[in-house]
């Protein structure tokens, strides 16, 4: 259980890698993760420590959010993207993800970004509700973008990919 008053949010460090891998593996659900089965790899294989904010309760990381520049194009330099969010199962629905989102917004504004985007699958109802509560709005829908095992009896179904965004200041 997360104690939000004891919760601290900081940038990640290389020493967090194994715990972040654990958190990522625990939040990897085939029906809401289009990449397929979880493939173990170093958490920092695709992320730099300065792109990852970690929610820590005591000394234990219980959640993370990946926020990075959306692309390297100069005309796109004002846009940051959330490329991952995970919270330990025992700490979910206790405000940890919201605290991470608020921290991500603060960091993106401090770094000079004015826009924050993310993509989420239409079947990830809990995530859609979380992002809506934090002011993200739907700006685009890629209909049938993924084929995932979310149909009746585990059958394959078409799932939309939804682009959400908000202005940060």
- Give pLDDT tens digits for 63-113: 999 999 998 899 888 999 999 999 999 999 999 999 999 999 999 999 999
Angular region, 125: left φ>0, alpha ψ -120 to 50, beta rest: alpha
Q: How far is residue 159's CA from residue 144's CA, in Å, rounded to a whole number?
A: 5
Distance linking the first and last C-alpha atoms of the chain: 32
Q: Are 134 and 115 in contact (CB under 8 A)?
A: no
Coil, strand or helix at 85: strand
**SS3 (DSSP) at 126:** helix
Distance between CA atoms of residues 4 and 119, nearest Å: 27
Q: What is the pLDDT of residues 138-166, one digit of tens each?
A: 999 999 999 988 767 778 889 999 999 99
Please, is 31 exposed, middle or buried when counting C-beta atoms within 10 Å of its C-beta (0-12, 13-18, 19+)? middle
CA distance 49 to 135: 26
> Which residue intervals of the chain are DSSP H helices?
17-26, 96-110, 125-133
* Structural domain boundaries in the chain: 7-167
User: What pLDDT, on a 0 to 100 scale, did the predictor assign at position 55?
Assistant: 97
| pLDDT recorded at residue 156 | 86
Helix (H) or strand (E) holding 68: strand 60-69
The pLDDT of residue 2 is 53
What are the residues whose beta carbons fall under 8 Å from the beta carbon of 46, sequence distance 6 or more? none
CATH homologous superfamily for 7-167? Gcn5-related N-acetyltransferase (GNAT) (3.40.630.30)
Residue 1 has pLDDT above 60, yes or no: no
CA-to-CA distance for 70 and 76, rounded, in angstroms?
Answer: 7
């Amino acid at each position: 259980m997360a104690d939000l008053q004891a919760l601290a949010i900081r940038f990640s460090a290389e020493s967090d890698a194994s715990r972040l891998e654990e958190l990522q593996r625990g939040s990897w659900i085939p029906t809401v993760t289009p990449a397929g089965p979880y493939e173990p790899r170093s958490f920092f294989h695709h992320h730099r420590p300065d792109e990852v904010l970690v929610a820590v309760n005591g000394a234990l990381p219980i959640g993370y959010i990946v926020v990075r520049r959306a692309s390297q194009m100069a005309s796109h330099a004002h846009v940051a993207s959330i490329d991952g969010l995970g919270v330990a199962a025992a700490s979910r629905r206790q405000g940890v993800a919201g605290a991470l989102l608020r921290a991500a917004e603060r960091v993106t504004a401090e770094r000079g970004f004015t826009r924050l985007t993310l993509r989420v699958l239409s079947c990830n109802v809990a995530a859609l509700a979380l992002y809506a509560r934090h002011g993200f709005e739907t700006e685009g829908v890629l209909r049938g973008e993924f084929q995932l095992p979310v149909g009746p009896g585990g059958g394959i179904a078409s799932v939309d990919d939804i682009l959400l965004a908000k202005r940060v200041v």
